[in-house]
Amino acid sequence: MPGFDAATRELMRRLGADVVRTDVASLDAAAYDSSKIPFRPEAVVKPRREEQIGVVLALANRHRVPVTVRGRGTTLTGAAAPRRGGWVIDMLRLNRIRIDAEAGMAHVQAGAKIAPIQAAAEAAGWFYPPDPSSKAYCTIGGNVACNAGGMHGGKYGVTRDFIIALRGFLPTGEYVEWGTATKKFAAGFNLRDLWIGSEGMLGVVTGAVLKLIPRPAARWTLLTAFKDETAALAAARTLFRARVQPAICEFLDRDSVHCAESATGRPVFAGQKDRAVILLELAGTASEVREVKTAVLAWARRHAVAHRAARDRAEAEELWAVRRKCSGAMFELGDSKLNEDITIPMRSYAAFATFLAGLKRSSGLAIPTFGHLADGNLHVNIMYHRADRAESCAAEVAVDQLMRKVVALGGAISGEHGIGLAKTPFLRIQHSPAQVQAMQAVKKALDPKGILNPGKMFDIFHVWQHPRLAVKLPWDHK
Ligand SMILES: Cc1cc2nc3c(=O)[nH]c(=O)nc-3n(C[C@H](O)[C@H](O)[C@H](O)COP(=O)(O)OP(=O)(O)OC[C@H]3O[C@@H](n4cnc5c(N)ncnc54)[C@H](O)[C@@H]3O)c2cc1C
């Protein structure tokens, strides 16, 4: 095995060529995630058994090799890119799913994807609500590591709310279990929750026990149109104040609506021009949905300039397809996107709408914004042309102003994507020095040699200064 250092040669001897890949195609595929900023690893490990991960980490500690865990690489932040090289652990072969239909739990390995987990739960009459738009591709391990959310977050919660227990390996290579397959567990510190959202820096998740809830029997979808963003956001607050909890409450500003319209070649809301839109879905038992539907229709008549209920699931699916199209369609406004996923408290919606209108004017950039109104998680997309120096600078200034405003309004610089590389310049806007030091102390305690996902979260990295690969990923423009 010439050409490799001693550590990689030992890794290959211990785990074999089926598990340890060093061919160019494997290294290239593991070099980047959806941020498309590449860093070449030296080897890619594709474990077939969970114990093999302990072997990798023990060896990595002995030889001080950086290790980055990878689910499917759908993260948009650079969190899964091997910034310091070394070894990438690709989790996709560890993908078993088993439903315990009596207990309402799913036992899954970390490489299992979300869509098949949901399908297995549904087939057993249960429901796993966390639903990132990337669910056909992303893994539960990645969802745990990023505390992924999605459209259902406002009513049901995010990944954290559905994790009963986790197992896996500490960065040092020791096996640990946080919790058991029981709904109550009060034995010791809750390190399970420390792993959730730790972005592959505090341990490698190999398996999880997920909480399931009964599958909703009925759904109802409504499309509503508003004069502008301020009117839409104010109307949403009146709905929540009336204690209505839609399963989904998606907002599209006028720019996002225009993007969706040019992508589909059809008006989002026939007969309505230049409107902000809210798409609502109610879910529950048939009688629950019937009852809340009456209240929602009264609300729509009062606050929206127009509304239209889907007649059946096929029509509802058409409406959701429009929502899914708007993100990819934004590339007509610029070849590059700073895709932010901030969270705003509801009380600050009006102030945020005013700020956003001002930011669009002052930056001169298109900033289409859409997102989940029931939990305040908005996707603010700052579009620019990379080769245009003035636009790139304007984007850099705009993202900084956005993050400062979000924190000033009591919000979060990330609601579901995490920090990775992309948000490292803003971590210290959100967190005080004492908070950052506490996080670094935890990292040091669990990973004394700093081998797991180094160079992320705390080390500042300006993504907009780095060229990105011109590759098309399977989930682009979805
Ligand atoms: C089109 C598109 C739509 C998206 N929509 C959403 C959305 O609606 N909601 C949302 O929350 N996110 C969304 N995302 C972001 C992304 O899909 C999520 O962050 C997802 O959780 C990443 O999962 P993954 O398996 O691809 O993980 P990766 O991207 O491979 O890794 C992400 C992070 O998790 C770590 N990690 C992965 N597996 C493990 C493990 N087993 N143990 C420890 N650490 C691990 C990695 O080291 C890395 O830090 C979207 C992305 C795209 C491209």
* Cα–Cα distance list, 252 to 143, 203, 222, 262 (Å): 25, 37, 14, 14
Average pLDDT, integer, range 253-282: 91
DSSP state of 39: -
Task: Identify the pLDDT of residue 3.
Answer: 58
**371 and 315 in a common domain:** no
Q: Is the CB of 250 under 6 A from ligand 1?
A: no
Closest by CA to 451, choosing from 83, 20, 33, 192, is: 83
CA-proximal residue: ligand 1, atom 15 (nearest)? 75
CATH of the domain at 79: 3.30.43.10
**129 and 83 in a common domain:** no
* H-state helical runs in 207-348: 229-241, 254-264, 286-303, 313-329
pLDDT tens digit sequence for 168-225: 999 999 999 999 999 999 999 999 999 999 999 999 999 999 999 999 999 999 999 9
In a domain, 471, yes or no: no
Task: Identify the pLDDT of residue 81.
Answer: 98
Residue 146 CA, chain-centre distance (Å), reads 6
Task: Identify the pLDDT of residue 264.
Answer: 84
CATH of the domain at 152: 3.30.465.10
Q: Is the CB of 76 under 6 A from ligand 1?
A: yes
In a domain, 1, yes or no: no
**Is residue 478 scored above 50 in pLDDT?**
no
Ligand 1 center from residue 143 Cα (angstroms): 5
Q: Is the CB of 170 under 6 A from ligand 1?
A: no
Average pLDDT, integer, range 15-39: 97
**78 and 44 in a common domain:** yes
* Helix (H) or strand (E) segment spanning residue 150: none
Give me 361's structure tokens.
Answer: 């004017």
Of 265, 296, 327, which closes a domain? Answer: 327
**What atom in ligand 1 is closest to the CA of residue 473?**
53
Three-state SS for 342-384 is EECCHHHHHHHHHHHHHHHHHHCCCCCEEEECCCCEEEEEEEE
CATH of the domain at 395: 3.30.70.2740
DSSP state of 268: S
In a domain, 287, yes or no: yes
What pTM was computed for the model?
0.96
CA-proximal residue: ligand 1, atom 36 (nearest)? 142
**203 and 128 in a common domain:** yes
Q: Is the CB of 73 under 6 A from ligand 1?
A: yes
Ligand 1 center from residue 418 Cα (angstroms): 9
* Cα–Cα distance list, 16 to 82, 120, 437 (Å): 22, 33, 40
**228 and 206 in a common domain:** no
In a domain, 175, yes or no: yes
List CB contacts of 204: < 8 A, sequence separation 6 or more: 53, 57, 69, 89, 110, 168, 169, 171, 452
Q: Is the CB of 453 under 6 A from ligand 1?
A: yes
Task: Identify the pLDDT of residue 268.
Answer: 85
Of 182, 214, 246, which closes a domain? Answer: 214
Of 59, 92, 125, which closes a domain? Answer: 92
**315 and 252 in a common domain:** yes
List CB contacts of 79: < 8 A, sequence separation 6 or more: 33, 145, 146, 199, 200, 418, 419, 420, 421, 453, 456
**Is residue 263 scored above 70 in pLDDT?**
yes
DSSP state of 28: H
Task: Identify the pLDDT of residue 4.
Answer: 66
Closest by CA to 54, choosing from 94, 83, 25, 81, is: 94
- Looking at the structure of the chain, the number of domains it has is 4
- What whole-number distance in Å separates Cα of residue 198 and Cα of residue 326? 30
- What whole-number distance in Å separates Cα of residue 107 and Cα of residue 162? 12
Ligand 1 center from residue 135 Cα (angstroms): 9
Q: Is the CB of 139 under 6 A from ligand 1?
A: yes
In a domain, 18, yes or no: yes
Give pairs for 180-185: CB < 8 Å, separation 24+: 180/209, 181/100, 181/103, 181/105, 181/107, 181/209, 183/211
Task: Identify the pLDDT of residue 415.
Answer: 96
Average pLDDT, integer, range 153-177: 97
pLDDT band, very low/low/confident/very high, at 465 (cuts 50, 70, 90): confident
Ligand 1 center from residue 60 Cα (angstroms): 23
**293 and 275 in a common domain:** yes
In a domain, 476, yes or no: no
In a domain, 464, yes or no: no
**157 and 131 in a common domain:** yes
In total, the chain counts a number of residues equal to: 478
Asked if 378 and 251 count as a contact pair (C-beta separation under 8 A), the reply is: yes
**124 and 43 in a common domain:** no
Which of 77, 83, 109, 146 is the best mutation target for the ligand 1 pocket, counting ligand atoms within 8 Å of the beta carbon and taking the most?
Answer: 146
Task: Identify the pLDDT of residue 70.
Answer: 98
**Is residue 334 scored above 80 in pLDDT?**
yes
Average pLDDT, integer, range 114-141: 97
Ligand 1 center from residue 229 Cα (angstroms): 29
Domain containing 75 equals 6-92
pLDDT band, very low/low/confident/very high, at 269 (cuts 50, 70, 90): confident
**337 and 414 in a common domain:** yes
pLDDT band, very low/low/confident/very high, at 226 (cuts 50, 70, 90): very high
In a domain, 204, yes or no: yes
Ligand 1 center from residue 146 Cα (angstroms): 6
**297 and 277 in a common domain:** yes
- What whole-number distance in Å separates Cα of residue 369 and Cα of residue 317? 21
Ligand 1 center from residue 224 Cα (angstroms): 31
pLDDT band, very low/low/confident/very high, at 1 (cuts 50, 70, 90): low
**200 and 152 in a common domain:** yes
